[in-house]
Chain A
Amino acid sequence: MSGGPASQDPELLRRLLRAKDRMDAASHEDWPVGRLARVSGVSEAHFARSFNQAFGVPPHRYLLTRRIERATALLRDTDRSITEIAFETGWRSLGTFGRTFRDVTGQSPSAVRARARASAQGLDRVPACIVSAAHRPHLTMAVSEKRRRVGSAK
């Protein structure tokens, strides 16, 4: 067995999960590989590959999905401006936020805000964290790759 889903040591997986949890809890913070590797108690060289193997997504891309997810929730649930939301969710520039948001979700932040408000019904019966996870964007390829593909399709 090499590379199969069950080939990783559960003890290692539990420690990789801790790094994922830490990103979940503070996705607005910077998470360089060295910081994540320390949380998991593995070397930097092993961390990204082990994380990718465990969760099917590279750590940086996972962080992007969490930031977009959180931004989407804030767009839906608050009246904060898009600029405020961009900085609150960890982006250093509004331009990068808007571009990445569109690349990942296919819509602009303002369009997502308008649509979410029009369609939010009955979700107060589901625990908030689960609603949030259900709305997590799928990011099965790198943002740069997604950009290339969308660009060449036009």
Chain B
Amino acid sequence: MTQGVDVAGVYVRDQDEALEFYVEKVGFRVHTDVKNGDYRWLTVQHPDQPSFQLGLFVPGPPVHDAATAQTLKAVVAKGAMPPLVLVVDDCRAAYDQMRERGVEFTQEPVARYGSVDAGFRDPSGNGWKLIQERR
């Protein structure tokens, strides 16, 4: 595929913390990590999904003024950003593994609607659903 969504990003409070979380605890890998002055373009991706990158961006200069950055950080910390969905083959196995690694789960795996889903947050407050693929 040559056309389609390539990068979508989430705001995080700290890129080092987010990198450690998404790589060490969720199992993503770094795609791009480039600094330009104070700005850092950081994306990670799922190992099975090379066509998509998740950007991990910190609100702040040069993109945002201080008040806007503060607002964005507050919105993320309140868990008010849009939902994110991670699809897995086995929700309970992924839950066990991620919890072992210290991921903060907000919902234990629940079987419903022919699937199993759980919920977790990244350290910044972004909320993920962990959903087992229906077969």
Enumerate chain A interface residues (CB-CB to B < 8 A): 5-6, 8, 10-11, 13-14, 16-18, 20-21, 24-25, 54-55, 77, 124, 127-130
Q: Are A24 and B107 in contact (CB under 8 A)?
A: yes
B35 at the interface (CB under 8 A from A): no
Residues in B whose Cβ lies below 8 Å from that of A13: 74, 77-78, 125
**Of the candidates B74, B79, B108, B117, which one forms a contact with A128 in the assembled complex, judged by CB atoms under 8 Å apart?**
B117
Q: Indicate whether A10 sits within 8 Å of B121 (C-beta atoms), given known contacts A17-B79, A130-B83.
A: no
Q: Are B67 and A14 in contact (CB under 8 A)?
A: no
Q: Indicate whether A17 sits within 8 Å of B129 (C-beta atoms), given known contacts A10-B74, A11-B77.
A: no
Chain B residue nearest to A16 (CB atoms) is B78
**Of the candidates A16, A20, A25, A127, which one forms a contact with B83 in the assembled complex, judged by CB atoms under 8 Å apart?**
A127
Residues in A whose Cβ lies below 8 Å from that of B107: 24-25, 129
Q: Indicate whether A21 sits within 8 Å of B121 (C-beta atoms), given known contacts A6-B67, A10-B13, A130-B83.
A: yes
Q: Indicate whether A128 sits within 8 Å of B113 (C-beta atoms), given known contacts A10-B13, A10-B76.
A: yes
B131 at the interface (CB under 8 A from A): yes
Residues in B whose Cβ lies below 8 Å from that of A20: 79
Residues in A whose Cβ lies below 8 Å from that of B71: 5-6
Identify the 3 closest CB pairs spanning chains A and B, nearest first: A13-B77, A10-B77, A6-B71
Q: Indicate whether A17 sits within 8 Å of B70 (C-beta atoms), given known contacts A10-B13, A129-B117.
A: no
Q: Are A17 and B131 in contact (CB under 8 A)?
A: no
Q: Indicate whether A17 sits within 8 Å of B77 (C-beta atoms), given known contacts A10-B13, A25-B106, A128-B117.
A: yes
